[in-house]
């Protein structure tokens, strides 16, 4: 399944969980379950926005965006992070009000059952999306999956807490759980915003991938072009795309044809290892030196 297919499925599941969790809140009157339902609205808004962003990110390069649009994915992750933070504020506000005005809970059995069903749906979808995010190298899918996992753990905490309320009769546990939910999703929202900003700042490839690029380049030079040397290597990530820029110094006696062959060999080797990598190889001839040690 493609990225857009997972996001459409995420939107559909969000609608289903909104119905289930809203019904759970209606039956019980629990502010903890209300906070859980509000987070599902965030899931829906995030999935719809992500669908729009993915359509932009996968658009081909044009005159105004010659390097493509893949960085648009980071806007989706940042938007989802801010939505999560907004939900946390709303949940916290409702929890404080419930502390000040305690309310007895009713029909906990139905409410808890509906919450468990919706959590199971979110958990299964999050697991599939997280696996797909690694395969597609999509921060959009990863952000949505991690948000859904947060929702699952949140729901588990709310359900466990409400069971304690039913046993102990301590009504203050309900708003306390809601505050715990707010703090938990605040952490997740802040993490998504930070990663979004980090991506827009042209972060380098992970260290293991940088090492692999250097090994491929070194092996290619050793096998075919031992007189050449890589002076600089820069890498960056833009959404699901990788980019690498190399500057190679070659002896002054090399012909243009030999320099072109070096560039071709490096491109083939790197594209064989990283199919989605955009590679730029810049060839610089070293200045010739005369017999007296002066530059020609």
Length, in residues, of the chain: 296
| CA geometry: angle 223, 226, 228, nearest 5 deg | 125
- The share of the chain scoring above pLDDT 90, in percent, equals 7
Contact 123, 139 (CB under 8 A): no
**Cα separation of 223 and 199, whole Å?**
35
Interval 121-148 mean pLDDT? 81
Contact 51, 4 (CB under 8 A): yes
Residue 228 token pair: 């050449």
Residue 261 has pLDDT above 50, yes or no: yes
Which residue did the predictor score with more confidence, 155 or 103?
Answer: 155
Interval 222-248 mean pLDDT? 83
**Cα separation of 190 and 198, whole Å?**
12
Q: Domains along the chain?
A: 3-200 (1.20.1510.10), 207-285 (3.30.70.1350)
148-192: pLDDT as tens digits? 887 787 777 777 777 777 777 777 777 787 787 778 778 878 877
Residue 242 token pair: 């990788």
Which residue did the predictor score with more confidence, 217 or 166?
Answer: 217
pTM for this prediction: 0.61
Residue 219 token pair: 């092996």
Contact 143, 192 (CB under 8 A): yes
- The share of the chain scoring above pLDDT 70, in percent, equals 93
Interval 18-29 mean pLDDT? 84
Interval 116-138 mean pLDDT? 84
Q: Which residues of 103-142 are buried (b: 16+ CB within 10 A; e: fewer)?
A: eebeebeebbebbeebbebbbebbebbbebbeebebbbbb
CA-nearest of 100, 93, 108, 91 to 178 is: 91
Residue 129 has pLDDT above 80, yes or no: yes
């Amino acid at each position: 399944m493609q990225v857009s297919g997972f996001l459409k499925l995420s939107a559909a599941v969000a609608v289903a969980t909104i119905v289930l969790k809203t019904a759970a809140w209606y039956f019980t009157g629990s502010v903890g379950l209300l906070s859980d339902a509000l987070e599902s609205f965030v899931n829906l808004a995030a999935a719809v926005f992500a669908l729009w962003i993915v359509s932009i990110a996968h658009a081909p390069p044009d005159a105004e965006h010659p390097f493509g649009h893949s960085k648009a994915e980071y806007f989706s992750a940042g938007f989802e992070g801010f939505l999560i933070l907004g939900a946390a504020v709303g949940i916290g506000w409702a929890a404080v009000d419930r502390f000040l005005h305690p309310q007895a809970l009713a029909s906990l059995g139905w409410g808890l059952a509906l919450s468990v069903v919706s959590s199971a749906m979110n958990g299964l979808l999050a697991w599939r999306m997280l696996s797909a995010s690694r395969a597609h190298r999509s921060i959009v899918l990863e952000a949505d999956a991690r948000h859904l996992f947060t929702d699952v753990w949140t729901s588990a905490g709310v359900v466990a807490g409400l069971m304690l309320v039913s046993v102990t009769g301590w009504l203050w546990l309900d708003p306390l759980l809601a505050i715990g939910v707010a703090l938990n999703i605040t952490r997740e929202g802040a993490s998504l915003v930070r990663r979004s900003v980090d991506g827009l700042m042209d972060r380098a490839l992970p260290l293991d991938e940088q090492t692999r690029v250097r090994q491929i380049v070194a092996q290619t030079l050793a096998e075919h072009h031992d007189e050449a040397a890589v002076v600089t290597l820069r890498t960056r990530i833009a959404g699901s795309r990788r980019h690498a820029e190399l500057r190679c110094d070659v002896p002054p006696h090399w012909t243009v044809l030999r320099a072109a062959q070096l560039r071709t060999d490096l491109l083939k080797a790197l594209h064989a290892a990283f199919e989605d990598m955009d590679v730029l190889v810049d060839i610089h001839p070293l200045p010739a030196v005369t017999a007296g040690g002066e530059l020609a």
